[in-house]
């Protein structure tokens, strides 16, 4: 059984995502595995630079 903490939250463990037209493709977060590596599940998000309107800057 897969640990709920390691289950990919983007695809809910299925390894597949679908667009608004129903086309399915591999999850880009877990690369189609459905679970995250142990060290990736504990990483926090990196805050990017934003402008005065709170838009992300490249």
- Per-residue pLDDT tens digits for 6-55: 888 889 889 999 989 989 999 988 888 888 877 665 556 677 788 888 88
**pLDDT greater than 70 at residue 2:** no
Handedness of CA 47, 49, 55, 58 (dihedral sign): negative
Predicted local confidence at residue 57, as pLDDT: 80
**pLDDT greater than 60 at residue 1:** no
Predicted local confidence at residue 25, as pLDDT: 92
Q: How far apart are CA 11 and CA 30, in angstroms?
A: 8
Predicted local confidence at residue 42, as pLDDT: 59
Is 13 in contact with 7 (CB distance < 8 Å)? yes
Predicted local confidence at residue 36, as pLDDT: 84
């Amino acid at each position: 059984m897969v640990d709920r903490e390691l289950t990919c939250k983007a695809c809910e463990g299925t390894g597949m995502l679908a667009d608004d037209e129903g086309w399915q493709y591999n999850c880009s977060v877990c690369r189609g595995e459905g679970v995250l590596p142990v060290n990736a599940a504990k990483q926090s998000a990196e805050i990017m630079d934003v402008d005065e309107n709170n838009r992300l800057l490249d």
